[in-house]
Chain A
């Protein structure tokens, strides 16, 4: 009887795993099937069209990366510094638990709410209108707690024996963190950052009301000014499917979905490769 239950449990767990795999394969297959007709060099590099058929997604791809880079520039220093503080310095007490509680609360705020907050603060109150920087700052608020968590987890995976060894030969706390703890944690930390970058790349709801749904107020659609409109790929995907007037909206939406999927997949693969190479290089010298 116990044997039967054991086999049954094994089978159910296996089936669940296979189920997830099949579901994912189905989604990817469906998106590829719908989207690959739309993909062409023209589609990937041209600006979008407002009325006629034949628009592309070039500026949207550019904006997605632009906002991603801005967001990481804002998020990474604060989140990593905060994570180091909480993991290495903070002693249990009201201050630490308050910070921890705030971070956790921030993490549970739905992205659409964060988007409306961005609309009120960056777009209206500060008068920036829809802008890349407003979008990036909204995404910063959204991803700060996650990146802080990632930092804490990467640091906590470093064995205490390394810290003890370093302190026991007269290194200071900061030397220990910089020369022993961070190098040992960097692989996992990088993996985490790249995974979060994938999430930022795919974020939509928080950007619709902050970075806007058109590509640029400037002269060029590929635009470095952070105060210009910056519709990203994922926002474009939502926009073409819900509000666009162009006759080939659904083809463009399908193509955008495929490109977005490919990009996010690339981030995930990159995360693994980078993590593995870094940890090899830093530990096996």
Chain B
């Protein structure tokens, strides 16, 4: 069962990630209740919903970021290309190599711009200076940041503006060649101009990557996503093609949210 009841006939869609009956608990509190979602390859899937609805919790389950917190328990299946990433014996480090994540607040390391971008390849054993330079240029170009920083790659990443820092974080993610990019409200800490740059970038990125984005802005979801999933109080209420969700929502709660009746 693919996301979007009637996908456009001319678009060939494969499910890159298939989430089945996902439960996430913080201690005894259940933050995600039986959520199932298929994420289409080379598309942008937006997760929307009011604050505290579980959309961030959901996206963090997709590359096992919850493993880093002691009291979080995840149940259910998340299948990436036919392999359950929560199956015993699966190395979460290898999974995060294939499924990268960009966070709400830009979080570059206190290192140079260059060192930030090549951090991933370096940790995966790439030591060749020339190769690293190629990777840095390619990733920065891909993240639409190259022209702004090419003359100061050895300067501290912390000197960049917030929007540039966020694109640097995206470049840092791209440098390890992931297959899926998870973005947790990547533009919420940015001004409108920086936001629109990030949005343009996401439109470009889906040609090569599968993108899942959490956003609190419905306009943003409508502008950039192909599919949308609506969360409310830990439940995945409705999912489908973005246009369908925004024009004829099937569930009353989705309609209420979209028309601005909550949060």
Determine if A170 and B110 form an interchain contact, defined as CB atoms under 8 angstroms apart: no
Partner of A167, one of B68, B156, B173: B68
Q: Which of A161, A170, A175 has its CB near the most chain B CB atoms (within 10 A)?
A: A170
- The A-contacting residues of B in range 76-116, CB under 8 angstroms, are 93-98, 100-101, 103, 105, 107-112, 115
A163 contacts B by Cβ under 8 Å: yes
**Inter-chain contact B156/A284, CB cutoff 8 Å:** yes
Chain A residues closer than 8 Å to B172, beta-carbon distance = 165, 169
> Using a Cβ–Cβ cut-off of 8 Å, how many residues does chain A contribute to the interface with B?
24
Contact yes or no, B103 A161, CB < 8 A: yes
| A161 and B93 within 8 A (CB) | no
Q: Kindly state whether residue A92 has any CB partner on chain B within 8 Å.
A: yes
**Is A166 positioned at the interface, with any CB of B under 8 Å from its CB?**
yes
In the bound complex, residues from chain A placing their C-beta under 8 Å from that of B124 are 170
User: Which residues of the other chain, B, contact A184 by a CB distance below 8 angstroms?
Assistant: 109-110
Q: Which of B142-172 contact A (CB under 8 A)?
A: 154-156, 158-159, 169, 172
Contact of B110 with A283 in the complex, beta carbons under 8 Å? yes
Give which listed residue, B107, B108, B112, contacts A164 with CB less than 8 A.
Answer: B107
Q: Which of A171, A172, A183 has the most CB of B within 10 A?
A: A171
Chain A nearest Cβ from B63, distance in angstroms: 7
Could you say which interface size class chain B belongs to?
A: 35 or more
Closest chain-A Cβ to B243's Cβ sits at a distance in Å of 31
Complex CA–CA separation, A161 to B100 (angstroms): 15
Please pick, from B95, B123, B175, B176, the residue contacting A175 in the complex, using a CB distance under 8 A: B123
Contact A163 B68 (CB under 8 A): yes
The answer, yes or no, to whether A13 is at the interface (CB within 8 Å) is no
Shortest Cβ distance from residue A275 to the other chain B in the assembled complex, whole angstroms? 15
Interface string of A87-105 (1 = CB under 8 A from B): 0000110000000000000
A179 at the interface (CB under 8 A from B): yes
Min CB gap B68→A, angstroms:
6
**Chain B residues within an 8 Å CB radius of A163:** 68
8 Å CB contact of A168 from B100, B112, B115: B100
Cβ-defined partner of B70 (8 Å) among A91, A161, A172: A91
Docked pose: A282 CA to B109 CA in angstroms? 10
- Contact partner of A170 (CB less than 8 A), chosen from B68, B96, B107, B158, is B96
Q: Considering the chains assembled together, what is the distance between the CA atoms of A22 and B191 in angstroms? A: 50
CB atoms of B123 and A179 under 8 A apart: yes
Q: Find chain B residues with CB under 8 A from A162 CB.
A: 107, 109-110
Show 25 residue pairs from A and B whose CB-CB distance is below 8 angstroms, ordered by the A residue: A161-B107, A162-B109, A162-B110, A164-B65, A164-B101, A164-B103, A164-B107, A166-B119, A168-B173, A169-B96, A169-B173, A169-B175, A169-B176, A170-B94, A170-B97, A170-B98, A170-B176, A179-B123, A183-B110, A183-B111, A283-B110, A284-B156, A284-B159, A285-B112, A285-B156
Flag whether A180 is at the interface (Cβ < 8 A). yes
A169 close to B103 (CB less than 8 A): no
Q: Does B120 contact A (CB under 8 A)?
A: yes
Within the assembled complex, what's the spacing in Å between the Cα atoms of A196 and B70?
33
Nearest first, the 9 A-B pairs at minimum CB distance are A170-B97, A161-B107, A283-B110, A168-B101, A169-B120, A171-B123, A170-B96, A285-B112, A165-B107
